[in-house]
Structure 1
Amino acid sequence: MVLLAGLAIVGLRALTDRYDRTVLREQLLDPRARRDRTDLDGPLNYLLVGSDARPGDSGPDHRTDTILIVHVPAGLREAYLVSVPRDLLVAIPASANGFGGGQDKINAAFEHGGGGDAGARLLSVTLARLTGIRFDGAALIDFSGFRKVIDLLGGVRMCVRTEVRSIHTDRVFRPGCQRMDGAEALDYVRQRYGLPGGDYDRQTHQQQLLRAMLERAAENQLRTNPVKLDQVIRAVGGSLTVDTNGVPLEDLLLALRDLPSDALRGVQVPSYPQIIDQVSYVMLDNGANGLFEAVQDAGMADWATANPRWVTRL
């Protein structure tokens, strides 16, 4: 949904019309995780899920690589990207496809639900039970589509702080700001081994990629380049499944059109690693220090000020 906000700067009805014809629409939120009514004049909470699985796919090993809660306070002039650790130990409810429920890493909820929209629903209710947050919508992102969008935008500028060697390719990412194409950027933001903060650094890099994409979309002046605009919309639409909780897409895009990329804050959930029965998990630190309550009660600005360790200005 943050990517949609970046594209919304073009302010064109053609964007909405084109997107409406290409995007997949599904019920990604379980009723127990869905806000009864979305008010675009109030604070908004969206669930953003990234997976290698194509939208609509189902089957084993479809765990989610990225889980973000996007909190936009009333006024829609800033946004907090709350990264949920994928190894967070949680109670996952039973699912309709035969999973009986139990303790597991949160990124397994998508798989236990069967992947696709059903997996997203199980993940959403798992998060709702953990956090108390009810969502205004959700988006399921296919990473192959993200690669296409980054390439169509001419790459993104990413600043590498610590040298890291990819576990997927022979790439070595060296310190310094550099232009990355889609394959390079997605490879970089999925690394966690060899980084000082491990998965926490990976979360920050994924948040930084979202900002870099917003900035690049603005630099490309998509409103004056209809050919590239059409290409980007097709790539975005083909890589997303969305649930807007009944809000017309045009209204949502117009509401988010003025959200600036420099007003994004990256938030990590207060937590710590723990080994249980020789398996590495992440545990909530002191109930996440009131983070989830701050999201629910529109108190994120105060929480961020009181908890600078867990907040990054992107």
Structure 2
Amino acid sequence: MLADRYERTMAREHLLDPSARADRTDLDGPLNYLLVGSDRRPGDSSAEQRTDTILIVHVPKGLREGYLISVPRDLLVAIPPGGGYPGGEDRINTAYEYGGGGQAGAHLLSATLNRLTGIRFDGAALVDFAGLRSVIDLLGGVNMCVRDEVRSIHTDRIFHPGCQRMGGAQALDYVRQRYDLPGGDYDRQTHQQQLLGAMLERASETRLRTDPVQVHRLIQAVGKSLTMDTNGVPVKDLLLALHGLATDGLRGVQVPSYPQTIDEVSYVRLDNGGDGLFEAVRGTHMSQWAGAHPRWVTRI
């Protein structure tokens, strides 16, 4: 069975701090997962890994819709002690590094998020963004719609406005950009959400289901780029529970916040404590919150 093959391919770790782990293993919903994108560069040690992406994936009861909530990586938060770090205020994306990267870094990051939001997670995943390049290529590329012209600071590639098919290297280059964008890092968050939706859309196409060789290669590539904590739930059960979650039911959400410079250092601060977003996730009324806050919500 494909799910069993995927289970054997994927690395498994306990990624969640006990304070941040949901005390249940059922899949009836609502479900909350922590998705951490590690932007590891050649030569980096595990402790030098950056969290280029921090996403809270919220799936309300019924499992028919989902919200990808991007946590700003420069958000100023109180980081609890852990991994040899004494604790203190800093950008949230440093929690993973201070924790030592890998499993320990994910523990400190999840504990930080729990302290900030009060959310307990049903599982977590570490994503190696470099590994996603081969996944996207095996999918035959993904369809991305570029709103504003962007010049890559990494490759000098120019992304022209319009919808286009992007290969792995091009897509990852695009979603890493945040300079010279009208919305800065907020636009980068939207592009990352868009990429995840585009990958799910391509993976759901019938062509892949009828090509067992391609599916096998895709499973191998996904497994190499993911480390997961499913809270004891078999992957096949999770995939079965989420099979009705369509890409047109996904929404991208940005945490209500604003930039602020403190002692010549750029940070992001919560706007009115997040304007009720975290309470909406905990209280399972995200649909109502999204309807009342269209500024922070986009269709993927």
CA deviations over 1:116-142 (Å, ceiling 9, x no partner): 011011000000000000000000000
Residue 83 (str. 1) matches residue 79 (str. 2): no
Please report how far the alpha carbon of residue 257 of structure 1 lies from its aligned counterpart in structure 2 after TM superposition: 1.1
AA matched with 1:285 = D
Please report how far the alpha carbon of residue 219 of structure 1 lies from its aligned counterpart in structure 2 after TM superposition: 2.4
**Partner residue of 2:241 out of 250, 255, 259:** 255
Which residue does 2:60 correspond to in 1? 73
- Consecutive unaligned residues of structure 2, counting only runs of 5 or more, are none
Residue 175 (str. 1) matches residue 172 (str. 2): no
Residue 132 (str. 1) matches residue 132 (str. 2): no
Residue 159 (str. 1) matches residue 162 (str. 2): no
Residue 225 (str. 1) matches residue 194 (str. 2): no
CA deviations over 1:177-211 (Å, ceiling 9, x no partner): 11100010011011111110000000000000011
**Partner residue of 2:5 out of 18, 21, 44:** 18
Within 1, Cα distance between the matches of 2:159 and 2:116? Answer: 36
Please report how far the alpha carbon of residue 42 of structure 1 lies from its aligned counterpart in structure 2 after TM superposition: 2.0
Please report how far the alpha carbon of residue 58 of structure 1 lies from its aligned counterpart in structure 2 after TM superposition: 5.1
Please report how far the alpha carbon of residue 35 of structure 1 lies from its aligned counterpart in structure 2 after TM superposition: 0.4
Residue 112 (str. 1) matches residue 98 (str. 2): yes
Cα 1:41/1:27, change in 2 over 3 Å: same
Within 1, Cα distance between the matches of 2:57 and 2:37? Answer: 13
AA matched with 1:34 = R
Look up the SS of the partner of 1:48 in the other structure.
strand
Judge conservation of contact 1:140–1:240 (CA < 8 Å) in 2. Answer: yes
Output the aligned Cα RMSD: 1.2
CA deviations over 1:267-299 (Å, ceiling 9, x no partner): 000000000000000000001000000001101
Judge conservation of contact 1:153–1:220 (CA < 8 Å) in 2. Answer: no
Which 4+ residue blocks in structure 1 deviate beyond 3 angstroms? 57-60
Within 2, Cα distance between the matches of 1:256 and 1:239? Answer: 20
Residue 292 (str. 1) matches residue 282 (str. 2): no
**Partner residue of 1:278 out of 235, 241, 264:** 264
Q: How many residues align?
A: 298
Give the alignment's TM-score, normalised by structure 1.
0.93
Judge conservation of contact 2:32–2:56 (CA < 8 Å) in 1. Answer: yes
Identical counterparts, % of pairs = 75
Within 1, Cα distance between the matches of 2:5 and 2:269? Answer: 43
Within 1, Cα distance between the matches of 2:48 and 2:185? Answer: 20
